[in-house]
Chains A and B, each alone.
Chain A
Amino acid sequence: QLQLQESGSGLVKPSETVSLTCTVSGGSIVRTNDYWGWIRQPPGKGLEWIGTIYYSGSTYYNPSLDSRVTISINRFRNQFSLRLNSVTAADTAVYYCARGQSGGYPPYHYLDVWGKGSTVTVSS
C-alpha cells in the first residue's frame, strides 16, 4: 500500500526558505504512470497546486509561485522535495505531497494518494 509522508521545516522566518521532503513507501517513485506533486492549503482556505515532478526530473510549476519554487527528486531514496524561497506570511499553510495519476491526457493529473500534511508557519 503506497504511503507518503512529509517532513521538514515547520517554523520559518519571513524571507527565508521552506524545505520539505516527501518520503514514498510501499512502492517505487520510478513509475512511468506516476507524477509527484505538492499542494498547499492556507488555514481555513482552499487547495492550491504548487508543482509536480516526474521520475525523469521533468517539472511543472504553478506560475503564481514559479520564480520561488524548486521541486527535485531523489530516486535512490524514494523521495521528492520542495523548496520555496523568499517566504512571507501568505505562505503559511499545510503542505501536502501527493501522487498524481493522469487520465487520458498526461502529464495533467489528478491526485490519488496524499500524505497527511505538514504545517508550515511563517513568522518572525
Chain B
Amino acid sequence: IVLTQSPATLPLSPGERATLSCRASQSVRTSLAWYQQKPGLPPRLLIFDASHRATGIPGRFSGGGSGTDFTLTISSLEPEDFAIYYCQQHSDWPLTFGGGTQVEI
C-alpha cells in the first residue's frame, strides 16, 4: 500500500493551523498512524487508528479520516512542532510509511 503525503513542505508561522494530508493507494480502514520526527531523534507516535492520540500527546494534535484519505491537524503551531511528519498504515503487510511532510517556519 503506497502512502502519499502532501504537501512535501508546509511553511507556516507559530500560532497558525497546520493541515497535513496522507492518501493511501487502497483502503486501510482506520488503520493509520502519524509520527513526528525531529533531527537526530527517532520518530514519536502522535496518532494511531486514525484519530486516537497517543499517551502524552497535546490536544492541539488531531487526526481524522478513513479508507484512503487522512488528515493530521495541528490547531495552533508551537515552536516545538516544526518537524517532519510521517503517516504509516497498519492495515496490511508490508507496513508502509508516507514520504513525509516537513512543517517549517
Separation of A117 and B41 alpha carbons in the complex (Å): 8
Indicate if the CB atoms of B48 and A112 lie closer than 8 Å: yes
**Which residues of A sit under 8 angstroms from B92, Cβ to Cβ?**
108
**Binding-face segment, A16-24, A59-67, A70-78, A80-88:** A59-67
Per-residue interface assignment for chain A, residues 31 to 52, with 1 indicating a CB less than 8 Å from any chain B CB and 0 otherwise: 0000001000000001111001
**Which chain A residues numbered 93 to 117 have a C-beta less than 8 Å away from chain B?**
96, 98, 101-105, 108-112, 114-117
Q: Are B29 and A105 in contact (CB under 8 A)?
A: yes
Residues of chain B within 8 A of A49, CB atoms compared: 88, 94-97
* CB pair A116 B42 closer than 8 Å: yes
- The docked-state distance in angstroms from the alpha carbon of A112 to that of B53 is 11
Contact A46 to B90, CB < 8 A, known contacts A96-B42, A108-B31, A111-B43: no
C-beta contact mask, B21-42 vs A, less than 8 Å → 1, else 0? 0000000011101010000011
Q: Which residues of B contact A102 (CB under 8 A)?
A: 90
Interface residues in A, total, Cβ within 8 A: 27
Known A-B contacts A47-B97, A112-B54; A103 and B42 likewise in contact (beta carbons under 8 Å): no
As a 0/1 sequence over residues 69 to 105 of chain B, the CB contacts with chain A under 8 angstroms (1 = contact) are 0000000000000000010101111111111100000
Taking a contact as CB atoms closer than 8 A, the residue among A46, A116, A117 that contacts B100 in the complex is A46
Contacts of B31 in A (CB 8 A): 103-105, 108
Does B10 belong to the interface (CB within 8 Å)? no
Taking beta carbons and an 8 Å cutoff, which residues of A are in contact with B?
37, 46-49, 52, 60-64, 96, 98, 101-105, 108-112, 114-117
B residues whose Cβ falls under 8 Å from a Cβ of A: 29-31, 33, 35, 41-45, 48-49, 54, 86, 88, 90-100
> Can you report 20 residue pairs joining A to B where beta carbons are below 8 Å apart?
A37-B95, A47-B35, A47-B43, A96-B42, A102-B90, A104-B49, A105-B29, A105-B31, A105-B90, A105-B91, A108-B31, A108-B91, A108-B92, A109-B95, A110-B33, A110-B45, A111-B35, A111-B43, A111-B45, A116-B42
